[in-house]
Amino acid sequence: MSMGIPEIEDSGCLLCFGYNGADSHPIVARRIVRGKQKGMKIICVDPRVTETARISDIHLQLKGGSNLALVNAIANVIWSEGLTDDAFIREHTKGYDEFIEVIKEYTPEYAEPITHVPAEEIRRAARLYATTKPAMILYGMGVCQFSQAVDVVKGLANLALMTGNFGGPAMGIGPVRGQNNVQGACDMGALPNSYPGYQNVTDPKSREKFEKAWGVSLPDKVGCPITHVPRRILHEKDESKRIHAYYIFGEDPAQSDPDLAEVREALDKCDFVVMQDIYMNKTGLYADVILPATGWGENEGVYTCADRGFQRIRKLVEPEGDLKPDWQIIAEISTAMGYPMEYKNTEEIWNELIDLCPSFQGATYEKMEKYGCVQWPCRDKSMEDKGTPYLHKDGKFATADQKALFYGTQWHPPLEKENEQYPMTLSTVREVGHYSVRTMTGNCRTLRNLEDEPGWVQMNTEDCRRLGLKKGELVKILSKRGYCITRCLPTDRVTPGATYMTYQWWIGACNELTIAELDPVSNTPEYKYCACRVEKIEDQEWAERHVQELYEDIRAQMGIHTGKGAKA
Amino acid sequence: MNYFVKGNPDLCIGCRTCMIGCVVAHEGKRIFEIDPDSYTFNPKLHMVKTAALSVPVQCKHCENPACMAVCPVGAISQKDHCVVIDTDKCMGCKSCMDACPFGAINMVPVAGKFQADGTEKKVANKCDLCTGLPGGPACVRVCPTEALTLVTEEELEEAAEAKRKKAALNAFSENYPQE
Amino acid sequence: MNLKQVQTTCPYCGAGCQISFTVDTDANKIVEAVPADGRTNAGTLCLKGHYGWDYLNDPQILTKRLRKPMIRKGGKKSPLVEVSWDEAISYVAKRLTEIKEKYGPDAIMGTGSARGAGNEANYLMQKFMRACIGTNNVDHCARI
């Protein structure tokens, strides 16, 4: 995020795009609510009536999969009505004219049939955003989990650039990262194309620096993204590229990745699968080796929150059992393979890595201890450098000439369209009381009692009436790739023809249905759009029993044999 | 006058932290250590979401409670600014549930208590303003967006006074628009 | 009962809320969680922050906590057998070395973790994949 989370409530106008803070980050949603109370204008772009949409000044309830058409149309209005910040564009950006060539044709009238948003509403939103300062954009998975994702992110950045909304507090553009340490995993270079601190593996200078620090020669070509792994195991013809071993650390691809049938086949065919985790999970069923690690609350370390803030995590309780911290397990394997890694504690590792990353160099443990949180960039170890609340100060960008670049791209429709057999669409969303694949929150008593298997499918009340479905009834939901059983939740917050399922469930596992089509740049799957069909189950008693049995089976596979706790 | 907890839909984000806070307040911290099926998860407030609003609904602690009037065994009474149910006396007839115009009462099983035939004992369940618990109503305390407030007699009186002033001012400007 | 107070960062979502825990050090159990005055959360928490920690007490509800290293000694369909750390580490090292020698370093894929593990473990994981294995095949679930 270019801004800090606390700044949100001080913005003049928030464009909230495909981001449902109330379910994914209630404490960020709190800032939005407070902003509203302070007079902030809200434009919400979402196919559902989210909590933010409910309190917004303008809600653009667009058709799923039309993001870029809408973003380009907003840009078109700002340009054609002369609402741009010309001085900012002149002094701090490049590529504006080429960008205008692309968005010229995206008049609100052109976008209306694609987005299902009335042209006049698009105009109203564009005017409000462009004429209120400071204006901020927040976006979430409703932007990222489409096959056209990176283009939309650039499209949103274009809006901030053409209105001069960079360089000060409470403005700019912010992806609100979903999981607690997604930002941190990226910062640390758990990415196929970059070393820690966003230093590119294809850049010879960066590579030399890391080669020198680590005392080995390093590969120069970009590695395999996680979403390519199933096909690189199953279908790769080039023997030098085929994957034979998969070391899975703190992830559960057999639950969280798209098209689960393909993932299971891949894990089954992979020669050697190592799983390092805290709880048994679905991936564990395919693992050749399981390495038990200490979890949050049992070890020390640092997380990075969504607005670039480094914060300490601390040990609360002593781990019970034969467990080791993750870093120690990795270090021991490396040492056993002939590349010694010896560290006494996490601070030693931290000190090694910040010295390799100029933008993190000043963020010492001492500073985190003293200030609680240090937002990168923090370049200087002196206690005076407390980090950077917002990026691009004075309109200076992290490019060679400090100028930002406009990128105009054409909208294209989602890859799988509704058809006769699968007339509805499915989008995956988050459950507010559960986290990720649920191995943590599913083992928390009250959270489990609030929501449990098999989850819900949110459907428009009209669709429910047509299919004869009542609230709480078990239904079957199918796509070309698979099916699952879940409960029906009729609601007028979703439009007819659309369905939404939370991705936390093992029985109501929506990723049995999702499509493994990827954004060509980010390689993020299109979780937010695939074609599906909902079927009524006539024998509800059988369905309830069946769900109960499935739950018992899964729990037994996960090593729980007591029969307690199953209340699906 | 009785107190009550009021939800503000402009602030509520529908997250239901209040519902868990309610259960934890009434069951005690022991629930973090016991079998999750050995206690009853019975929030005394219920999140309502329609297309236009999200807000929890709970007992209004009426001054002339319909629930109390219809209870055949005298299990409902008023004390400490609060309408309370004596669950030992409750026979589970559902009259109160039927009578409550806000849908604030539901029936819940009592963990560990059984009838003569072995079936679970079920009783009426509703907000008791966390009477007797330190810190006031838990839902108010845990809500991350400060969407819930405890409305007391004094606050109602203050609010009424402010509204009266406004009404008086409006009446004045209607009669004498030029001044 | 000996109690201590520890402040830490919430393990759920990217908001980075600060929580103050009361821990019973004799029983090695968390007693209570209350919101701390962090930069982003300013004394507030959501339901996961308030009530999302009792999994540490291994409640055996959904899945079993892993307590010992395990190996499937007889191939994919065989049962997992508990082993010592020494055996587990040297087995992983041996198999990865064999695969690297036979097919090259790009035949091995590793993941970082966007969840509980923390930055230091992620740093070591990518260092391991790059410096020890010799591949850039490392990624994590930011995409999913």
d(CA A233, CA A273): 12
Our CA-based measurement puts residue C31 at a distance from the nearest CA of chain B, in whole angstroms, of 8
Bridging pattern class, strands A289-292 and A272-277: parallel
Both structure tokens of A157: 């950045």
User: Can you tell me the ipTM of this complex?
Assistant: 0.95
- Identity of the residue in B36, B142, B145 whose CB atom sits nearest the CB atom of C50: B142
Mean pLDDT of chain B, nearest integer: 92
Give the tens place of pLDDT for each residue, B35-44.
888 888 999 9
Mean pLDDT of A251-256: 81
- Which chains reach chain B with 3 or more Cβ–Cβ distances below 8 angstroms? A, C
- Judged by DSSP in three states, A101 sits in helix
Q: Give partners of C (≥3 CB pairs < 8 A).
A: A, B
Separation of first and last alpha carbons in chain C: 44
Of B17, B29, B142, the CB nearest to C31: B29
Following CA atoms B31, B36, B40, B41 in sequence, which dihedral angle do they give, to the nearest 10 degrees? 80
Chain C nearest-CA distance from B174, in A, is 45
Q: Which of B13, B30, B35, B46 to probe by mutation at the A interface, max A CB count within 10 Å?
A: B13
What's the 3-state SS for B48-61? EECCCCEEEECCCC
User: Cα separations (Å) of B72 from A303, A486, B64, B92?
Assistant: 58, 41, 16, 10
Is A433's CB within 8 Å of B16's CB? yes
A457-466 burial: b if 16+ Cβ within 10 Å, else e: bbbbbebbee
Crossing angle for the helix pair C119-127 and A326-336, to the nearest 10 degrees: 20
Residue ranges of alpha helices (H) inside A415-505 are 445-450, 461-467
Helices (H), ranges, A291-426: 326-336, 346-354, 365-371
Start-to-end CA span in chain A (Å): 39
The pLDDT, as a whole number, for residue B89 is 94
Task: Tell if the CB–CB gap between C111 and A249 is shorter than 8 Å.
Answer: yes
Pairing of strands C108-111, C138-139: parallel
CATH number at B147 reads 3.30.70.20
Question: Which residues on A lie below 8 Å from C30 (Cβ)?
Answer: 297, 316-317
Which chains border A (3 or more CB–CB pairs < 8 Å)?
B, C
Cβ contact (<8 Å) for B49 and A36? no
Phi, psi of A314 (to 5 degrees): -125, 155
Number of domains in chain B: 1
**Is residue B163 one of the residues assigned to a domain?**
no
**Range(s) of the domain holding residue B9:** 4-152
**Model pLDDT for residues A8-20, shown as the tens digit of each residue:** 999 999 999 989 8
- A255 pLDDT exceeds 80? no
| Nearest Cα residue in chain C from A175 | C14
Q: Widest CA span of chain B, in angstroms?
A: 77
Tokens describing residue A216:
């080995």
Q: For position C140, what pLDDT does the model report?
A: 86
Of C16, C46, C80, the CB nearest to A306: C16
Which chain C residues are within 8 Å of A306, Cβ to Cβ?
A: 14-16
Q: Is residue B81 part of a domain?
A: yes
DSSP states of B121-166 as a string? EEEEE---TTTTSTTS-HHHHH-TT--EEEE-HHHHHHHHHHHHHH
Contact call for A564 and B144, based on CB within 8 A: no
Spell out a b/e string for C59-78, using b for 16 or more CB atoms within 10 Å of the CB, else e.
bbbbbbbbebbbbbeeeeee
Q: A461: nearest CA in chain B?
A: B51
Task: Encode A486-503: b = buried (16+ Cβ within 10 Å), e = exposed.
Answer: bbbbbbebbbeebbbbbb
Residue B172 lies in a domain: no
Whether the predicted pLDDT of A508 surpasses 90 = no
DSSP string, C1-68: --EEEEEEE-SSSTT--EEEEEEETTTTEEEEEEE---TTTTT---HHHHH--GGGG---SSSPBP-S
Judged by CB atoms closer than 8 Å, whether chains meet at A55 and B54 is answered as no
B118 belongs to a structural domain: yes
Is B145 inside any structural domain?
Answer: yes
CB spacing of C99 vs A245 below 8 angstroms: yes
Grouping H, G, I as helix, E, B as strand and the rest as coil, residue A414 is: coil
Picking from A22, A448, A493, the nearest residue to B13 by CB comes out as A22
Q: Decide if A49 and B37 are in contact by the 8 Å CB cutoff.
A: no
pLDDT digits 0-9 by tens, A294-339: 999 999 999 999 889 999 999 999 999 899 999 999 999 999 999 9
Report pTM.
0.89
Distance CA C51, CA B25 (A): 12
Instruction: Using CA coordinates, name the residue in chain B closest to C45.
Output: B144
Contacts with A538 (C-beta within 8 Å, 6 or more apart), sequence order: none
User: Is the CB of residue A460 less than 8 Å from the CB of residue A490?
Assistant: yes
Checking phi first, is residue A472 left (phi over 0); if not, alpha (psi -120 to 50) or beta?
left
Candidates C17, C50, C57: best to mutate against B (most CBs of B within 10 A) is C50
**Per-residue buried b or exposed e for A59-98, using 16+ beta carbons within 10 Å of the residue's own CB:** bbbbbbbbbbbbbbbbbbbbbeeeebbeebbeebbeebee
Size of interface B-C (CB pairs under 8 A): 30
Confidence of residue B176 (pLDDT cuts 50, 70, 90): confident
| DSSP 8-state symbol, C116 | T
On the CB side of A385, how many CA atoms lie within 13 Å of its CA? 15
Q: Is residue B115 part of a domain?
A: yes
HSE at residue A527, side-chain half, CA atoms within 13 A, is 27
Separation in Å, CA of C31 to nearest CA in chain A = 11
Shortest Cα–Cα distance, C46 to chain B (Å): 6
Residue B176 counted as domain residue: no
The answer to whether residues A299 and C6 touch, using CB atoms and an 8 Å cutoff, is: no
Considering only CB atoms, A26 lies closest to which of B34, B37, B144, namely B144
Strand order in the sheet with C80-82: C80-82, C70-72, A289-292, A272-277, A245-249, C108-111, C138-139
Of C49, C97, C124, the CB nearest to A330: C124
Read off the amino acid at residue A80.
S
pLDDT value at residue A252: 85
Whether residue A33 is predicted with pLDDT greater than 80 in this model: the reply is yes
Residues from chain C contacting residue A4 (CB–CB below 8 Å): 39-40
How confident is the prediction for chain A on average, in pLDDT?
89
Instruction: Note if the bond before A196 is cis, omega within 30 degrees.
Output: no
Q: Residue B88 domain-assigned?
A: yes
**Inter-chain contact C113–A251, Cβ cutoff 8 Å?**
yes
Residue appearing with tokens 């799957």? A525
Element (H, E) at A502: strand A498-502
Question: How many angstroms separate the CA atoms of A171 and A134, rounded?
Answer: 5
Helix (H/G/I), strand (E/B), else coil: B67:
helix
| H/E element, C98 | helix C85-103
Task: Look up residue A546 and give its two tokens.
Answer: 């069946």
What's the residue count for chain B? 179
Query: Any chain B CB within 8 A of the CB of C71?
Result: no
If one counts every other C-beta atom within 10 angstroms of the C-beta of residue A468, the result is 9
Chain A CA closest to residue B146: A30
Nearby residues of C21 by Cβ (< 8 Å), 6 or more positions away: A316, C5, C6, C7, C8, C30, C32, C33, C53
CB distance from A520 to chain C under 8 Å? Answer: no
Which tens digits make up the pLDDT trace of B88-136? Answer: 999 999 999 999 999 999 999 988 888 889 888 999 999 999 998 888 9
**Looking at chain C, which residue has its C-alpha nearest residue A200?**
C136
pLDDT of residue A517: 67
pLDDT along chain C (144 residues), means of 10: 93 92 92 93 94 85 90 90 96 96 94 87 96 93 56
- Which residue in this structure is represented by tokens 């990026």? A391
A498-507, B7-16, B87-96: least confidently modelled range: A498-507
CA–CA separation, B123 and B92 (whole Å): 5
| Of the candidates B13, B21, B14, B12, the residue with the CA atom closest to the CA atom of residue B41 | B21
Residue type, A355: D
Question: Best residue in B13, B16, B17 to probe C by mutation, most C CBs within 10 Å?
Answer: B17
Return the ∠ at Cα A225 (arms to A220 and A228), rounded to 5°. 125
Q: Which two tokens stand for residue A139?
A: 């976006």
Say whether pLDDT at A521 is over 80: no
Total H helices, total E strands in chain A: 21, 21
- Candidates B17, B33, B142; nearest CB to C57: B33
Q: Which of B17, B24, B33 sits opposite C46 (nearest CB)?
A: B17
How far does A161 lie from chain C, in Å, by closest CA? 26
Over pLDDT 90: what percentage of chain A? Answer: 59
How many pairs of residues across A and C have Cβ atoms under 8 Å apart? 483
The whole-angstrom distance between A79's CA and the closest CA on chain C is 33
* Angle, CA A362 vertex, CA A360 and CA A365 arms, to 5°: 95
Chain C residue with minimal CA distance to B141? C44
Q: How far apart are CA A371 and CA A243, in angstroms?
A: 44
Predicted confidence at residue A568, as pLDDT, reads 37
Asked if the Cβ–Cβ distance from B36 to A449 is below 8 Å, we say yes
Cα→Cα distances A454→A560, B155, C17, Å: 18, 44, 29
pLDDT at A260: 81
Residues of B in contact with C54 (CB under 8 A): 32-33
List all residues 6 or more positions away from B142 whose beta carbon is below 8 Å from its beta carbon. B17, B18, B20, B21, C45, C50
Of B137 and A177, the structure prediction assigns the larger pLDDT to: B137
Touching check for C32 and chain B: CB below 8 Å? yes
The contact set of B with A (CB < 8 A) is 10-17, 19-20, 23-24, 31-32, 34-37, 41, 49-54, 144-145
Whether residue A442 and residue C28 make contact (CB cut-off 8 A), yes or no, is no
Mutation target among A8, A9, A188 for the C interface, most CBs of C within 10 A: A188
